């Protein structure tokens, strides 16, 4: 029997009341299997942000079904959705969202603060995550002492520390120069090769081309590329 997909959207729509009613995402069907590397590309206003919020359990569909690791999330309570999001999804954003007064290691450890894990185990897990992104030697640095590319790697390590089923990246190279953007894309290639499931939302064709599979969103509808 085949394993359930990490993500399965069935006829998912998201509308916002008007007048006039705004149809942000319309009858989206999307499957992301374990180990997939998917890019979702589209211009501003295409529905990318709404789809990100739906995939990340930050919003609920108006209609349709979303299963995450086989769990139908539509009827879950807010608390249960938050718990599932923290356990199953790692987020990487365009803005790094690092605490400037805390060390690199502390920033990664903070992602596990409310998971009931001992400090020693959180530290060990954070150190492994920093090794995965080749920043173990920067663990005592402050984010302000790092380049933009290094800060994004810290953010990726923070996302990896929870050992998520899905790494969800939103315009992960948007604040980086070309050299650092290439470094982040190379890192995603390495993580995918190691078995991580990734979904990258971007407007950048060069970023999306790195993915194993590509879809485009336009006017709230998905088209396979």
Is-above-0.85 flag for pTM?
A: yes
The pLDDT tens digits for 98-157 are 999 999 999 999 988 877 789 999 999 999 999 999 999 999 999 999 999 999 999 999
Question: In sequence order, what are the beta bridge partners of 167?
Answer: 90, 198
List all residues 6 or more positions away from 219 whose beta carbon is below 8 Å from its beta carbon: 26, 46, 47
Determine the Cα–Cα distance for residues 201 and 216; give it in Å rounded to an integer. Answer: 10
CA neighbours within 13 Å on the CB side: how many for 47? 26
Express each pLDDT in 150-201 by its tens digit: 999 999 999 999 899 999 999 999 999 999 999 999 999 999 999 999 999 9
At 1, is the pLDDT very low, low, confident or very high (cuts 50, 70, 90)? very low
Domains of the chain, with CATH numbers? 7-224 (3.40.50.300)
């Amino acid at each position: 029997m085949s394993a359930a997909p990490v993500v399965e959207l069935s006829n998912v729509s998201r509308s916002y009341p008007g007048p006039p009613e705004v149809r942000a995402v319309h009858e989206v069907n999307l499957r992301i299997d374990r180990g997939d590397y998917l890019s979702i590309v589209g211009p501003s206003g295409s529905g990318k942000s709404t789809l990100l919020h739906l995939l990340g359990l930050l919003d609920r569909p108006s209609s349709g079904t979303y299963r995450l690791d086989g769990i139908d999330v539509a009827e879950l309570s807010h608390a249960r959705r938050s718990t599932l999001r923290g356990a199953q999804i790692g987020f990487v954003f365009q803005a790094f969202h690092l605490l400037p007064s805390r060390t690199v290691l502390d920033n990664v450890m903070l992602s596990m603060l409310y998971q009931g894990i001992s400090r020693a185990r959180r530290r060990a897990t954070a150190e492994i995550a920093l090794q995965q992104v080749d920043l173990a030697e920067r663990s005592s640095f402050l984010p302000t002492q790092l380049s933009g590319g290094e800060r994004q790697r810290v953010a990726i390590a923070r996302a990896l520390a929870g050992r998520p089923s899905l790494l969800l990246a939103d315009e992960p190279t948007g604040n980086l120069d070309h050299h650092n953007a290439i470094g982040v894309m190379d890192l995603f290639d390495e993580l995918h090769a190691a078995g991580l499931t990734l979904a990258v939302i971007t407007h950048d064709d060069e970023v999306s081309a790195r993915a194993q599979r590509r879809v485009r969103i336009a006017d709230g509808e998905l088209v396979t590329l």
